[in-house]
Amino acid sequence: MRKILILIALLTIATAARGQQSSLIQNVGARSPISLDGQWKVIIDPYDTGSSDNGFFKDAQPKSKSEFVEYSFDTSESLSVPGDWNTQRERLFFYEGAVWYKKSFDYQRQANSRLFVYFGAANYLADVYLNGAKVGRHEGGFTPFNFEITNLVREQDNTLIVKIDNKRFREAVPTVVTDWWNYGGLTRQVMLVEVPQTFVQDYFIQLRKGANNRIVGWVKLNGQQAAQKIRIQIPEANVDTTFQTDTNGAATIDLNANLTLWSPQQPKLYEVIISSESDTIRDQIGFRTIEVKGPDILLNGKPIFLRGVCIHEEAPIRGGRAFSQDDARILLGWAKELGCNFVRLAHYPHNEFMVREADRLGLMVWSEVPVYWGIQFDNPVTLGNAQNQLTEMIARDKNRSAVIFWSMANETPQGEARLSFISKLAELTRTLDPTRLVTAAMLHHYEGQTTQVIDDPLSEYLDVIGCNEYIGWYDGLPAKADNMEWKTRYQKPVVMSEFGGEAQYGRHGDDLTRWTEEYQENMYRHQIAMLKRIPFLRGTAPWILMDFRSPRRLLPQIQDYYNRKGLVSSRGEKKKAFYVMQEFYREMRQRFGSE
């Protein structure tokens, strides 16, 4: 019990550490939330003029024709929420800075209830005000947060104002340089969530590591009546058990159950009902085990090969930041068509629809925090920021059976400060969630001309080693892969977490003409032949499913601010390499079995 209390305390402290943020409410979609999505009035504020003491958060209205007020939400333009501002207005395409959002609403709160405002994400810094009072601040562009507004909300004419600032800065996570678009705005859903005075705030219900019939976890109540009976029901599995919370509202869960295990072949989800004396919450949860044994990854005790693909949170067809269930269905549908049983959601936590849809479709998930390239590894503030984002990622998705990997980083340069930084993230991850595997995407180096060695010391702290390589694109021509051998210093599974090259859909030439579909197709054929020779390889995730915007990709008439490494174009057109990878995955499925 003491260990569980420490874990819950860590979650609470970390998720409430920045500003006045409340601890994250689990599974808000099951609480009949009131959506605040739609049109919000906005003021574009490149010089951050509105942050003064008499700033825009006051939503001042002139009381006479002579009163001086130098701004107006009412006569300003509107933007859609959820959504990024970059793709909604051409003049904001490259904009980085402050934008003030305003939403007015009425709300009739039920007696003996509490009210929270919940944000799926806001990139990057969010300052939240209700009726002129500051509610809190959140840092990080890809994780959810909520604030209690019970004592501030009124029945009519509420004014919710959010300042979003997506300026890049050195100590941030991620830092100033990324290879994806810095979409700004309220990029995910905004909701009002009403709960009882004492409610089920959080819960963790999964299989004990290595056991296929033992459910363990915990439930946490929030409110003054913390000591209550908790009832856990899984009707389809004939589970109906009662536990008792302590004076802090915490209860541990430990029970037997005869379960059909979740897998890509059979993505079984159970209705789980958690009831206290004052609240009830329902969720759809799958149960499976994930472990490593030597170089093997074991799903439900059996070795698997991860047939994967990397995905950015880029909206198919319309462009911009992906945020909807339809976006998730299209992207993950393409992954399934490719033959995947696994997706790497790079390089940050994606929206909740993606993870829940992966749960439903039977796609295993690599979920990652944006510890990317050269962030400030020697800065304790940066470490605290990364730990907070990691905690919020785990807090939201820890009950999703699809998530098998928590990833700590991508392509970070070796060094003592970096090793200390990321090893602390790995330690925190195992404290918060001991049931899943820890990984990171790393680089490699040459020994001689034809041998690649995986020996990053960070591997000591990981369960599964991710390796990014671009032989045939940044490293020589495609045929260079033909004589390449791979070695590793570690008896651990390796997933080739990135490989690939760029092709503009519809551009054709011979197989050595860059930017053509034929070059990309040729490179994939040489890559696959090399990958088949790596004895310790247990998964692949080519870069990337779909073309995505990047300010680093400048080649006119070909890139035009798009990274063209997608197997599918941004308009949904499949390139030749898609079918090469599909053929490989068909073969790997036969070799490793149906999973």
Q: Residues 205-220: pLDDT tens digits? A: 999 988 999 999 999 9
Q: Residues 195-205: pLDDT tens digits? A: 999 999 999 99
pLDDT-derived band at 97, boundaries 50, 70, 90: very high
Predicted pLDDT at 10 = 53
Predicted pLDDT at 13 = 46
pLDDT-derived band at 592, boundaries 50, 70, 90: confident
Q: Residues 151-177: pLDDT tens digits? A: 999 999 999 999 999 999 999 999 999
Q: Residues 425-480: pLDDT tens digits? A: 999 999 999 999 999 999 898 999 999 999 999 999 999 999 999 999 999 999 99
8: helix, strand or coil: helix
Contact (Cβ atoms closer than 8 angstroms) between residue 198 and residue 228: yes
Predicted pLDDT at 52 = 85
pLDDT-derived band at 122, boundaries 50, 70, 90: very high
Give the separation between CA 341 and CA 269, rounded to whole angstroms. 17
Q: What length is written for the chain? A: 595
Cα 174–Cα 180–Cα 185 angle in degrees, nearest 5: 75
Cis ω before 317 (30° cut-off from 0): no
Q: Residues 292-334: pLDDT tens digits? A: 999 999 999 999 999 999 999 999 999 999 999 999 999 999 9
pLDDT-derived band at 483, boundaries 50, 70, 90: very high
Predicted pLDDT at 54 = 80
Contact (Cβ atoms closer than 8 angstroms) between residue 589 and residue 339: yes
Phi, psi dihedrals of residue 281, rounded to the nearest 5°: -135, 140
First and final C-alpha spacing in the chain:
36
CA 433 to mean position of chain CA atoms: 16
Count CB-CB contacts under 10 A for residue 572: 12
pTM for this model (two decimals): 0.95
Predicted pLDDT at 411 = 96
CA 252 to mean position of chain CA atoms: 27
**In the predicted structure, residue 503 carries a pLDDT above the cut 50:** yes
**Chain mean pLDDT for the chain:** 95
Domains of the chain: 33-195 (2.60.120.260), 199-288 (2.60.40.10), 306-441+452-470+487-592 (3.20.20.80)
Contact (Cβ atoms closer than 8 angstroms) between residue 321 and residue 187: yes
pLDDT-derived band at 585, boundaries 50, 70, 90: very high
**In the predicted structure, residue 557 carries a pLDDT above the cut 50:** yes
Token pair listed for 6? 């420490």
Give the separation between CA 114 and CA 117, rounded to whole angstroms. 10
Question: Who contacts 538 (Cβ-Cβ below 8 Å, separation ≥6)?
Answer: 295, 296, 297, 303, 304, 305, 306, 464, 493, 494, 495
Average pLDDT over residues 503-520: 98
**In the predicted structure, residue 12 carries a pLDDT above the cut 90:** no
299: helix, strand or coil: strand
28: helix, strand or coil: helix
Predicted pLDDT at 3 = 55
Give the separation between CA 574 and CA 114, rounded to whole angstroms. 49
Q: Which of 448, 592, 445, 593 is nearest to 532 (CA)?
A: 592
Phi/psi-derived region of residue 148, left when phi > 0, alpha when psi is between -120 and 50, beta in every other case: beta
Token pair listed for 282? 């329902």
CA atoms within 13 A on the CB side of 48: 12
209: helix, strand or coil: coil
Contact (Cβ atoms closer than 8 angstroms) between residue 219 and residue 274: yes
Give the separation between CA 368 and CA 428, rounded to whole angstroms. 14
Predicted pLDDT at 294 = 96
Q: Residues 360-407: pLDDT tens digits? A: 999 999 999 999 999 999 999 999 999 999 999 999 999 999 999 999
pLDDT-derived band at 17, boundaries 50, 70, 90: very low
